[in-house]
Amino acid sequence: MIKIIKCFFFLLLVLLFLNGCNPSNVNEDIFQFKDSYVGDNGAVGNITMRLPSPNGEHLNGLELKTTKEPYGIILNYKKADTPEEIEKNYKETAIYNATFIFALVKNADWVTFNFVDQEYRITREKLQKWYGKNLREFTNEEDLAKLTQEFLADKGKVSQFFRE
């Protein structure tokens, strides 16, 4: 009987340990990382993991440029092993992801997106001018996503953003 009890508690301990290792924070609000800094690789990594990837690609790493101002982030993508069903445009993905990074990371001045066959660099100044809003003023994901989707719906505006 004692062996059964010991075995039960051992299994319970293993299950509790495995549950503690579960990455349940993936669904948490991305705005918990608001006011992060480029130098905080944990926060920037968590932000970028929650952002969408285009055309069956996935984030393959990031570089934080913190040695001199202006500070920036480089996101490197690579081809995924299996294609995703959702196809996204590189330009739209870059704008969407940069919008969230600039809203959440205080001192990020630019972001470079290295996709498999395209590279885009977006600055905070240019993106905020495009929106006509200070992205730092947003306090929740819903309002920021609504603004972003509103602007991304106009393909002409998106194309114009990258021509300027």
Pinpoint the alpha helices (H) of 73-135: 90-104, 124-131
Per-residue pLDDT at 58: 86
Per-residue pLDDT at 2: 63
At 12, which amino acid appears? Answer: L
Per-residue pLDDT at 108: 98
Q: Exposed/middle/buried for 74, CB within 10 Å: 0-12, 13-18, 19+?
A: middle
Pinpoint the alpha helices (H) of the chain: 2-20, 41-49, 90-104, 124-131, 141-152, 155-163
Which of the 8 DSSP states describes residue 137? G
164 residues of the chain, pLDDT tens digit each: 565 544 444 444 444 444 444 444 445 799 999 999 999 999 999 999 999 988 778 899 999 999 999 999 999 998 866 554 334 578 999 999 999 999 999 999 999 999 888 899 999 999 999 999 999 999 999 999 999 999 999 999 999 999 98
Per-residue pLDDT at 20: 45
Write down the pTM of the prediction. 0.79
Per-residue pLDDT at 82: 52
